[in-house]
Amino acid sequence: MSRQYFGTDGIRGTVGQDPITPDFVLRLAHAVGRVLKAHEAHPTVLIGKDTRISGYMLESALESGFNSAGVDVVLLGPVPTPAVAYLTRAQRASLGVVISASHNPFADNGIKFFNAQGSKLPDAWEIEVASALSQAPVWSSSAHLGKTRRLDDAAGRYIEFCKSTFSNALSLKGLKIVVDAAHGAAYQIAPKVFHELGAEVVAIGCSPDGLNINKDCGATHPEALIQTVLTQGATLGIALDGDADRLLMVDGEGRLYNGDELLYLMVADRLSRDEVVPGVVGTLMTNMAVEVALKHKGVEFVRAQVGDRYVLELLGQKGWLLGGEGSGHLLALDKHSTGDGLVSALQIVQACAASGKTMGQLLEGVTLFPQTLINVRLQPGQDWANHAPLQAATAAVQTELGETGRVLIRASGTEPLVRVMVEARDAAQALACAQRLADALRV
């Protein structure tokens, strides 16, 4: 039932099409409010948003829905997704709500939730909400309606939280940092965090107009950041996405570092400070070079399904702290309860500042394996999982690669496609092997 509305990261879609319409969002907030009221007498909900023009409309609908169920609302205005998670915990609120479609273009939007501890909610909670949605609304009487207020210093509180995750013994004086906030939720916050820690900041992607979020900027389009770092002669660059939970970075030479590399840097920095890192969680897509490098350092590495939600779940099961995805969702659970692009960037910058080394120098000896990805369209009714030619070809390729590469074959979640990925130390070998597997599937 829960999957009717909820995806792996809340509810998301095109604005004006079900379910991202004001009437549904009002009903959703009312249903969530009723679920909260069933467990708590006087719940309070925080609502933050990114910079999409549709955020105004959806914020009003959420506010009305919660108030109609007798739930108080605190409006945070435009703040990053991880800021909502932090403030929900810090304000002892019952629930945090984010209006954002993350790295999607402005025409999309979404709703996601955090519990009182600033963590994502389990499937059981989503099922309870879906059940409440199927029932007729029960409007609170006038005397029991919820109230709404605004937390005027929400951004300032979050800025101080971000700075608290950076070493008091270090300063960013002398560093020139380009910050690209993707015209998104961190447009005011991200430049201030690095400026207040002493850096000279060049801000790009910090002029939202409601329509330009993620457009040719930010973590999904780092070309503008690379160019600005080079033309400005900056020390490094930081690219966030629309809701600032995703991070990519660029060094002074214009070299882009993805989430896999940044995750390795976070781990290596902790090991250099004699901290114990028992294990790290990546995903099925994490580059094998990172796995090999971590194992050489005595750090166990395990893979979760693609999606930061699954990385977080596996970290909880293992009792570990560090994990992430190549897309730039990074988790440091001793710093924050959820992925946070700014906090992750500060961890990397801190590693560079403390060691006096660049990201490239800290990654010396770790070179990402080439990956080849081929999408193969399935025939109607084709059972790719039990396809004998593919199974035979896969066994042969895995034998050929041995411990110097790997094969990942998985179905697309949205299209009739099978994604064939081969990773190897040699790019030509990865391409040839992937092509063999794709050809076998087409037989």
**What are the boundaries of each domain within the chain?**
2-152, 157-254, 257-362, 371-442
Q: Name the pTM for this structure.
A: 0.93
> Span 371-442: which CATH code?
3.30.310.50
**Count of CB atoms situated within 10 Å of the CB of 252:** 18
Residue 4 has pLDDT above 80, yes or no: no
**CATH level 2 (architecture), domain 257-362:** 3-Layer(aba) Sandwich (3.40)
User: Looking at 54, 68, 100, 102, which residue is catalytic?
Assistant: 102
Q: Which pLDDT tens digit goes with each residue over 168-218?
A: 999 999 999 999 999 999 999 999 999 999 999 999 999 999 999 999 999
DSSP 239: E
Residue 254 has pLDDT above 60, yes or no: yes
Query: Which CA distances in Å does 437 have to 250, 372, 418?
Result: 34, 11, 11
The dihedral sign for the CA sequence 281, 282, 287, 288? positive
The percent helix, strand, coil of the chain (3-state, each to 5) is 40, 20, 40
Q: Which CATH number fits domain 157-254: 3.40.120.10, 1.10.10.10, 3.20.20.140, 3.40.309.10?
A: 3.40.120.10
pLDDT value, residue 381: 87
Q: Which pLDDT tens digit goes with each residue over 258-299?
A: 999 999 999 999 999 999 999 999 999 999 999 999 999 999
pLDDT value, residue 9: 79
Q: Which pLDDT tens digit goes with each residue over 396-415?
A: 999 999 989 999 999 887 68
pLDDT value, residue 416: 87
Instruction: Name 408's Cβ contacts closer than 8 Å, sequence gap at least 6.
Output: 284, 285, 419, 421, 422, 423
Residue 1 has pLDDT above 50, yes or no: no
pLDDT value, residue 3: 61
Pure H helices in 288-415: 288-296, 308-318, 341-355, 359-362, 388-401
Residue 314 has pLDDT above 90, yes or no: yes
- Residue 300, burial from CB neighbour count under 10 angstroms (0-12, 13-18, 19+): middle
pLDDT value, residue 283: 96
Name the pLDDT band for 2 (thresholds 50, 70, 90): very low
Mean pLDDT, rounded, of the chain: 96
Q: What is the mean pLDDT of residues 300-308?
A: 93
Secondary structure class of 53 (helix, strand, coil): coil
Active site annotation includes 119: no
pLDDT value, residue 103: 94
The encoded tokens of residue 258 equal: 């993805």
Q: What is the mean pLDDT of residues 323-341?
A: 97
pLDDT value, residue 300: 98
Q: Work out the percent of the chain whose per-residue pLDDT is above 90.
A: 93
* Amino acid letter, residue 233: G
Strand partners, 330: 324
Name the pLDDT band for 64 (thresholds 50, 70, 90): very high
Which superfamily does 2-152 belong to? Alpha-D-Glucose-1,6-Bisphosphate, subunit A, domain 3 (3.40.120.10)
> Quick check: do 2-152 and 257-362 share a fold?
yes
**C-alpha angle 121-123-129 in degrees, rounded to nearest 5:** 80
pLDDT value, residue 301: 98
Pairing of strands 236-240, 247-251: antiparallel
Q: What is the mean pLDDT of residues 5-17?
A: 89
pLDDT value, residue 335: 97
